[in-house]
Amino acid sequence: YAMLLSLIFLIVLVAAIVGFVFRHEIKTNFESNLKLALEDYNVTADRHSEAVDTIQRTLHCCGVQNYSDWERTEYFSQRGIPRSCCKNQNDCSEEDLKDPNKAKLKVFVDGCFFLVTSTMENKMSVVAGISFGIACFQLIGIILSCCLSRYITNNQYEMV
């Protein structure tokens, strides 16, 4: 039992260290994937477009760095900025979304990349605290199981 808990503890420890060391690469990959999702954005129900819409609606943001990122996409030339960027869904017309100057007043101007990464960093302390608590319980379990195994001899085991 102590060996199993030790193995799980080491796996969690390695995962935490790898996540901490490669956090900048994770941010870079997220930013490049978000840019790709914007370039490939379309109205069909594919996963990437739905993810972009969900992020924009939930975090009240638009584009990667700001709303003007949509101007460089093929979707913008056809339909303008997506409706998921609108502050008020009832007040956003397709004509407003095709004109960047009018759209600035109707859509969220902040980019999603900064909001997503700052949200993740804010929640990281909660995740770290919970992980530390679980690790403490695992260490206590390892120590107690080692103590128990020392006190049980073959003869005592047969008596129990």
Inter-helix orientation angle 47-59/23-39, to 10°: 110
Contact (Cβ atoms closer than 8 angstroms) between residue 108 and residue 83: no
Q: Tell the burial category of 118 from Cβ atoms under 10 Å away from its Cβ (0-12, 13-18, 19+).
A: exposed
Class for the domain spanning 1-158? mainly alpha
| Domain ranges (residues) in the chain | 1-158
What is the full per-residue pLDDT of the chain (160 aa) written as tens digits?
Answer: 888 888 988 888 888 788 777 778 888 888 888 888 888 888 556 788 888 888 898 889 998 998 888 888 888 888 888 888 898 888 888 888 888 888 888 889 898 999 888 888 888 778 778 888 888 888 898 898 888 887 776 556 555 5
pLDDT, tens digit, for every residue of 125-137?
Answer: 787 788 888 888 8
Could you give the angle at which helices 23-39 and 112-151 cross, rounded to 10 degrees? 140
